[in-house]
Structure 1
Amino acid sequence: MTATVDGALRALLRDGLQDGTLGPGAQLPTERALVERLAAPRSAIRKALESLEREGVVVRQVGRGTFLTDAAVLHPTAPDNTSPAEIMQVRLLLEPPVAALAARVATQADLDRMTGFLDHGGRSEGFEDFEGWDAHLHRAIAQAAHNGLLLNLFDVMNTARTLPVWGSLKRRTSTPERRCRYHGEHTAIVDALRDRDSDGAHDAMRSHLQHVADTLLGRP
């Protein structure tokens, strides 16, 4: 549910920015209003807002509400017609070198954050929770490269994961066995990062993403 709500909320903001009803400094509807508008649980709305806040798209002020930042206008997103094949092509080009860089420059705090996300993913019992922690882990690896331009490129690519076509395909191909295997692959990536093994992190990330691509696109 969380991934679907995230995509729906981003679409709502994108539509508002395009038609002029929203802009920098504009106040978003309350959580209660978003629950009704998106027909989603409050917990999922909260997680989606937290994700936008981490990206700098919104700022939340206690007692006042949630507001769009200037970055919302400048925050590019993947085209709505982006296909799963295109998403995986870009992920395979971008994420393995990012993991290699992260292995060299990640701080202990970065590694601890990744480990936490990895552990949460391993304890996830269903598709939605696993996908949420999967997204957190991959972005944490990109953050650990400590390169703002690379992170911006990653975030543009990552918005494609909120597109309905991506979510539908991931859901159809997700099984407990596949999630278990993905978790094992995530573990290999994080282990290489902790070992400061740049080549190992690159290869583990590429192997994982190739497995995801083969699963989603029906390759043997």
Structure 2
Amino acid sequence: MLALIEREVARLGLAPGSKLPTEREWVERTGLSRTVVRRSLATLEAQGRVIRHVGRGTFLTPAKPDEQDLANGGGSSPAEIMAVRLLVEPSSMPLVVTAARRDDIAEIQRCLAGSEIDPSYESFERWDAAFHRSLALATHNSLLVQICDMTNAARHQPQWGQLKRRSFTAQRRLDYITDHRTIAEALLDRDGAAAHEAMRAHLLRVRANILGDSI
């Protein structure tokens, strides 16, 4: 099934970020059962090759920002990246409260649930990035989404990866999940101020865990 999807994507000439056919369309194209199709798409999502948005569909993972300009956070240091995140992400929470639709909230909750399944570092990194991007998407502000994509690109930076992996523990994973849950609950309550403070506390925790006394 995975090979069939790859061949069909190539045949259709779909670019990164493009929307894929629906599950029903895949069933019609391949003759496979919907269960097999759904399982295959879930595998592609776990591999980071597609992104599924509740109520919107399944999309090929967007291309990474330009390797010379934006890849790995544009060459910014982890401290610089965290400084930008602390400026932008907490302040965007009230906008999520006012702009988020029902499907946005469902996607935020889906990403939160996904991070709770697999305790591995690699899985959590993918779902962590997806959670923060779902918040940016919920603002319906394209510039904030671009900023999120730039900071998420830093996850491919060797220095960031080494620091994050070295700081990652089972307890810290649980702490981050608890932080995410607190943020999501504040958004569900339509409490922008609480969501702002929850995001700020979360990012301060991340910064302290990754950078320690180096900030």
In the superposition, the TM-score normalised over structure 2's length comes to 0.69
CA RMSD between the two structures: 3.1
Residue 128 and residue 108 in structure 1: after superposition, are their counterparts in 2 closer, same or farther (change >3 A)?
Answer: same
Q: Is the CA contact (8 Å cut-off) linking 1:100 and 1:199 kept in structure 2?
A: yes
Match of 1:105 in 2: 99
Q: Distance in 2 between matches of 1:159 and 1:95?
A: 16
Q: Is the CA contact (8 Å cut-off) linking 1:94 and 1:154 kept in structure 2?
A: no
Identity, in percent, stands at 38
Q: Distance in 2 between matches of 1:115 and 1:97?
A: 20
Residue 54 and residue 184 in structure 1: after superposition, are their counterparts in 2 closer, same or farther (change >3 A)?
Answer: same
Deviations 1:113-154 (A, max 9, x none): 111110111222211111111110000000000011221122
> Are residues 1:145 and 2:158 paired?
no
What pairs up with 1:118-129 in 2 under 5 angstroms?
A: 118-129=112-123
Amino acid at match of 2:206: V
Amino acid at match of 1:164: P
Q: Is the CA contact (8 Å cut-off) linking 2:115 and 2:128 kept in structure 1?
A: yes
Unaligned runs of 5+ in 1: 1-24, 29-42, 59-70
How far residue 98 of structure 1 moved from its aligned partner, in angstroms, is: 1.6
How far residue 100 of structure 1 moved from its aligned partner, in angstroms, is: 2.1
Unaligned runs of 5+ in 2: 1-12, 17-42, 52-58
> Are residues 1:204 and 2:193 paired?
no
What pairs up with 1:29-44 in 2 under 5 angstroms?
A: none
Match of 1:47 in 2: 47
Counterpart secondary structure, 1:218: helix
| Segment drifting more, 92-101 vs 43-52 | 43-52
Q: Is the CA contact (8 Å cut-off) linking 2:118 and 2:124 kept in structure 1?
A: yes
Q: Is the CA contact (8 Å cut-off) linking 1:92 and 1:206 kept in structure 2?
A: yes
What count of residue pairs does the alignment treat as equivalent? Answer: 169
